[in-house]
């Protein structure tokens, strides 16, 4: 995770962002600290990457890259406003003792667009990461990548509309995907939790699961009920200030697989 010490809404690179309104950094920090404490309180180890001045979106650590075992691929961002986050995170990864850290050559926004479900990655294109990045990830990690296409600009990253719950189980919002991708998901995950529009619109699917507890927006009440019914324990959080930049729980969290 990356502390939002420099968080702000200063530019608009997705429909959630309104630079004329900005953001309340003190509130963002308090909400972020609660998220971190919640993870730690449930026994999860959190490492904190220092944020950098002039990189107001750096708090969204999910976009920093991909970590599987002892291999890391750091991100390459779509927008000029976030480009410098790639090398900043790369330097941090390079100092952590991983066997190999490479920088993506193709446009790749890390776990924003790539989610590991069991033995495969699901990866999105449409707004950010490129189809070529899907192939690059497949080659580097030796893990098959299933490509999906996003079609609604409000849901510009895969992790805004698809959440991994546990071994082979996902929750997602079908209308955010092209017709063809909806079919791919329905075939792969016939028993998936299908979220409502209302829950998707508060980024309720932007959550993290440890296989039992599911950490996500407390505003996604129907989703909470759906998860409870499946035997998961929902842990509701309020990240309203970060939502102003188009992010929630998952965006703030890079998982170490």
Q: Which residues are catalytic?
A: 157, 251
Q: Is 65 in the site for ligand ARG (CB under 6 A)?
A: no
Binding segment toward ligand ARG, per CB under 6 A, in 38-46, 131-139, 189-197, 244-252: 244-252
Closest to ligand ARG by CB, 57 or 199: 57
How far apart, in whole angstroms, are the C-alpha atoms of residue 251 and residue 134? 19
Q: Is 74 in the site for ligand ARG (CB under 6 A)?
A: no
Q: Is 60 in the site for ligand ARG (CB under 6 A)?
A: yes
How far apart, in whole angstroms, are the C-alpha atoms of residue 148 and residue 252? 22
Q: Is 8 in the site for ligand ARG (CB under 6 A)?
A: no
The pairing of strands 114-117 and 120-125 is: antiparallel
Smallest gap from residue 248 Cβ to ligand ARG (A): 8
Chosen residue from 31, 74, 246, 249 binding ligand ARG by CB under 6 A: 246
3-state secondary structure 191-202: CCEECCHHHHCC
- Are 64 and 108 in contact by the 8 Å Cβ rule? The answer is no
How far apart, in whole angstroms, are the C-alpha atoms of residue 118 and residue 105? 25
Binding segment toward ligand ARG, per CB under 6 A, in 11-19, 33-41, 100-108, 137-145: 11-19
Q: Is 192 in the site for ligand ARG (CB under 6 A)?
A: no
Closest to ligand ARG by CB, 76 or 82: 82
Q: Is 204 in the site for ligand ARG (CB under 6 A)?
A: no
97 φ/ψ sector (left φ>0, alpha ψ -120 to 50, else beta): left
30 φ/ψ sector (left φ>0, alpha ψ -120 to 50, else beta): alpha
Chosen residue from 8, 57, 169, 241 binding ligand ARG by CB under 6 A: 57
Of 75, 171, 62, 200, residue with least CA distance to 129:
75
Q: Considering only residues 140 through 169, tell me which ones interact with ligand ARG, judged by CB under 6 A.
A: 157, 159-160
- Are 110 and 64 in contact by the 8 Å Cβ rule? The answer is yes
Site residues, ligand ARG (CB under 6 A): 13-14, 17, 57, 60, 62-63, 82, 112, 157, 159-160, 245-247, 251
């Amino acid at each position: 995770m990356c502390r939002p010490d420099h968080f702000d809404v200063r530019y608009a690179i997705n429909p959630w962002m309104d630079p004329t309104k900005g953001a309340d950094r003190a509130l963002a920090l308090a909400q972020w600290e609660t998220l971190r404490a919640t993870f730690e309180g449930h026994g999860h180890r959190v490492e904190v990457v220092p944020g950098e001045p002039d990189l107001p979106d750096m708090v969204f650590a999910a976009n920093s890259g991909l970590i599987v075992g002892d291999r890391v691929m750091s991100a390459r961002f779509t927008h000029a406003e976030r480009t410098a986050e790639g090398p900043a995170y790369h330097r941090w990864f390079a100092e952590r003792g991983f066997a190999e850290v490479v920088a993506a050559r193709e446009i790749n926004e890390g776990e924003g667009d790539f989610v590991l479900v069991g033995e495969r990655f699901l990866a999105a294109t449409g707004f950010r990461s490129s189809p070529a990045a899907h192939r690059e990830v497949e080659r580097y990690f030796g893990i098959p990548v299933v490509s999906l296409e996003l079609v609604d600009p409000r849901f510009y990253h895969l992790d805004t509309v698809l959440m991994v719950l546990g071994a082979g189980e996902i929750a997602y919002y079908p209308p955010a995907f092209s017709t063809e991708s909806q079919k791919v998901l329905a075939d792969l995950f016939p028993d998936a939790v299908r979220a409502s529009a209302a829950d998707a619109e508060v980024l309720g699917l932007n959550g993290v699961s440890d296989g039992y507890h599911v950490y996500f927006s407390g505003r996604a009440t129907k989703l909470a009920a759906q998860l409870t019914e499946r035997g998961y324990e929902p842990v509701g959080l309020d990240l309203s200030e970060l939502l102003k930049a188009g992010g929630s729980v998952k965006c703030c969290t890079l998982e170490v697989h």
